[in-house]
Chains A and B, each alone.
Chain A
Amino acid sequence: MNIDAIQNGVVIDHITAGKGMKLYQLLKLDETDLSVAIIRNVTSQKMGKKDIIKIDADIPVNLDVIAYVDPGATVNIIRQGTLVEKRAIEMPLTLRDVIFCKNPRCISSTEQELPHIFRLTDPEEKVYRCIYCETKASL
């Protein structure tokens, strides 16, 4: 399968196979009219299989979202067909309005104006918890 190389844009590589579509949604790429390729289950020497997202525009991407969904992913910035920068991904201490608390008893489920904030409570296990009700975040 051939996907054209992009000239100017962002390539999110080494995404765990199966997480590409979720990342696409959480990055809100579905809300843009940009040319975006989601390539699933690409053969990878290191990972066996992986997903890749190619965005054909040099736009800022929310690294916190990527770090939350898949801290092993890499972000490459392409300009004039050349890799010019690899962005470092670190798990953010808090996530704001990236994901929503799924606990129906949480105050954030009824108070519409509240920001949805999750705090990294266990960096080793990559656990985020809702700051209001402490429910563990899940995709």
Chain B
Amino acid sequence: MKRSVIDIVDLSAQELEELVATAEDIIANPDKYAHACDRKKLATLFFEPSTRTRMSFEAAMYELGGHVISVSSAMSSSAAKGESVADTAKTVSCYADIIAMRHPKEGAAYVAATNASVPVINAGDGGHCHPTQTLADLLTIWREKRRFDGLTIGLCGDLKFGRTVHSLINAMSRYPGNRFVLISPEELKVPSYVKRDVLKQHNVPYVQTTDLESAMPELDILYMTRVQRERFFNEEDYLRLKDSYILTPDKLKNAKQDLAILHPLPRVNEISVAIDDDPRACYFKQVLNGKFMRMALILKLLKEAGTL
């Protein structure tokens, strides 16, 4: 049966663990999967700029032996002629076995999924959801910590518009013993509905602070985020907030030796390049892990759709 993934909560905790297990198997036995998607086509519809996510999906499909057809900007597609997302989804379903879509409007992936006859994977819909980034985050946490529970997770930067932050909170709140330290300027705090509907509903302890350094010693994971210019209506607000947190080697003095530093990338200046060689820096591993999780997800959805 056709199924799409719009939000990380579309996948149960058990399914997330199965995807992690599949990704681990892909890493250990890549040849086993080299022809898993022979003659199948992935359509990548990217109506918003992206380097990592689009290339990651495309690399994932190639490594599964499949093909990729793509639209790389709204201006080079029928969207420029005024075609609706619904019609685009119906049309592309005629060509592809599965669709990965990024769109600047929130809810666009849901509209595509309800109109497409093939599975749709949300590759980011504005500031709303970006579930495959969360899959990358989860595999990274798993490979670094070998557990999803009992962790103190620091989230730092733009916690208001950062879609990956909300998804990660959602995913990690399902596991016992986790605790969140939410580090942000006042204006970019986690929205109240995330605190109420996710953290409080699951009785997950959390603290909010503006001080990264004082929070550092207790963290098992530090998830840095970029303040995203494209989410602001007001340039002045962006300029005022963009340099709120810059992680430098000095700020890691009191951090745990096994801290895992994650970042969904791209970074601007919020993590100093001097940290890249620190063994605790996991953000480029995260990029690689994203590809493996996208491979696992493509396989899962194509199997469920009866295409494989």
Contact = CB atoms under 8 A, between A and B. Distances in A.
B107 A132 contact: yes
Interface string A105-116: 111111101100
Contact of B86 (A110, A113, A130, A133): A113
A107 B113 CA distance: 13
A121 B111 CA distance: 19
Contacts of B154: none
Interface string B102-114: 0111111011000
Given A105-B126, A105-B127, A134-B128, A113 B107 contact: no
Contacts of A135: 106
B193 A130 contact: no
A26 B9 CA distance: 33
Contacts of B86: 111, 113-114
Interface residues of B, number: 17
Interface string A67-103: 0000000000000000000000000000000000001
Contacts of B103: 107
Nearest to B108: A107
B193 A133 contact: no
Contact of B107 (A121, A122, A131): A131
A113 B106 contact: no
Nearest to B7: A134
Contacts of A103: 106
Contacts of B197: 121-122
A105 B105 contact: yes
Contacts of A131: 107, 110
B98 interface: no
B12 interface: no
B105 to A, nearest CB: 4
Contacts, number: 50
A19 interface: no
B85 interface: yes
Interface string B181-204: 000000000000100010000000
Contact of A106 (B85, B105, B193): B105
Contact of A132 (B104, B110, B193): B110
B84 interface: yes
A121 B196 CA distance: 13
Contacts of A108: 107
A49 interface: no
A136 interface: yes
A133 B106 contact: yes
Contact of B111 (A132, A134, A136): A132
Contact of A111 (B84, B125, B126): B84
A106 B128 CA distance: 9
Contacts of B105: 105-107, 109-111
Interface centre among B106, B110, B111 (most CB of A within 10 A): B106
A114 B126 contact: no
A42 B189 CA distance: 43
B84 A133 contact: no
A106 B84 contact: no
B107 A107 contact: yes
B128 A133 contact: yes
Q: 9 closest A-B pairs (Cβ-Cβ)?
A: A132-B107, A133-B106, A107-B105, A107-B107, A133-B107, A107-B108, A105-B106, A105-B126, A106-B106
Given A105-B105, A109-B105, 14 more contacts: A105-B104, A105-B106, A107-B105, A107-B110, A111-B84, A111-B85, A111-B111, A121-B197, A132-B107, A132-B110, A133-B107, A133-B126, A134-B128, A135-B106
Interface of A: 103, 105-111, 113-114, 121-122, 130-136
19 contacts: A103-B106, A105-B105, A105-B106, A105-B126, A106-B106, A106-B107, A107-B106, A107-B111, A107-B125, A111-B85, A111-B86, A132-B106, A132-B107, A132-B108, A132-B110, A132-B111, A133-B126, A133-B128, A136-B193
